[in-house]
Structure 1
């Protein structure tokens, strides 16, 4: 029997995000249909999808440094916006590379 391992990016998503992904897939990727399901506008659903994409991208980056992990957790928990998180991580990496 195979042991199933949940991808780290999926494990980092909350229940609401997973529900959104399920509805999106069942709607064959139609943002218009998902907007109807949620009773919101297309731009609202597009924004939600864009934020989810950012969460997944951040979750896929495999940096184990405590500072970077903290920045990612803050972004995933909406305590810090994703653009700021990316900026902080990139600047930290530049600084770290400059000190080597």
Structure 2
């Protein structure tokens, strides 16, 4: 019986994200086909894919700086705006550099 191991980059993805990835694979990565399946425009699907890529990249960064990854994740998920995220990250970096 195989052991299910979830890759680190998938842990912070929503169920919707996992479904999107599955559909994307099943249509061989065709954004045009994804737009048809979701009944949206190509740019809308492209934006969704870009956000998903950002989430995965942030997960990769989380190993180095968990706080910064959290702030980036909040911004990508539109819980805070990007300007606020930049300020928080900047202040965090200043505080940590001064402490060293």
Count of residues in correspondence between the two structures: 98
| Structure 2 residues not aligned, in runs of 5+ | none
Aligned equivalents of 1:9, 1:89: Cα separation in 2: 21
TM-score of the pair, normalised by structure 1: 0.76
Aligned ranges 1:1-100 → 2 under 5 Å: 3-61=3-61, 62-63=63-64, 67-68=67-68, 70-72=70-72, 74-75=74-75, 77-81=77-81, 85=85, 87=86, 88-100=88-100
Aligned equivalents of 2:83, 2:50: Cα separation in 1: 12
TM-score of the pair, normalised by structure 2: 0.76
Provide the alpha-carbon RMSD of the alignment: 2.6
